[in-house]
Amino acid sequence: MRKSQAKAEVDMSPMIDAVFLLLIFFLVSTMFKKEDRDIDVDLPESESALEVRPDDETLVIGIDEGGRLYLQGQPTTKTKLLYDLRVTASNDPGRRIRLDTDRNTPFATVVEVLDLLQFRNLSNVVIRTYDEYYNR
């Protein structure tokens, strides 16, 4: 009489499930850790904007509808912005600067900030706009 030769096998499915769950957990938690640098503005529309590759190192300056200033999503003052841009110009003159403005932001304030960036020799400046082409 022959003994049964059936081999004991490990079921891999639960392990694969667990690995995928871990993977998703780390992906989601990493995404949540990103700093929110955007402010709530109604962007001006553009029909000829160029898409710029996102960069986590971009310094975001925001100007809302009332002309209030923000740096990296946090409210700031004019005096402090002058100083912070002086430091940025000294440490990293090539750093990309993104200007987020509302479509109703007073243009004089935008000019003031652009002039300040030029004076600080920060020339890698982009202006964020809404382009229907990239949102189809």
Summarize as ranges the residues that interact with other proteins (CB under 8 A).
68, 74-80, 82-84, 86, 89-90, 93, 108, 111-112, 115, 118-121
Helix (H) or strand (E) holding 61: strand 59-63
Residue closer to other proteins by CB (options 38, 131) is 38
* Shortest spacing between CB 68 and other proteins, in angstroms: 8
Find the shortest distance in angstroms from Cβ 102 to other proteins: 15
Per residue in 57-82, is it b (16+ CB within 10 Å) or e — as a string? ebbbbbbbeeeebbbbeeebeeeebe
Query: Which of 83, 133 has the CB closer to other proteins?
Result: 83
Nearer to other proteins, 121 or 135 (CB): 121
**In this structure, what are the phi and psi dihedrals at residue 79, rounded to the nearest 5 degrees?**
-60, -40
Q: Measured from the CB atom, is 112 or 131 closer to other proteins?
A: 112
Rounded Cα gap, residues 53 and 55, in angstroms: 6
Residue 133 C-beta: closest distance to other proteins, Å: 32
Closest approach, Cβ 105 to other proteins, in A, equals 14
72 Cβ neighbours under 8 A, 6+ residues apart: 35, 37, 59, 60
Of 36, 37, 42, the residue nearest 129 (C-alpha): 42
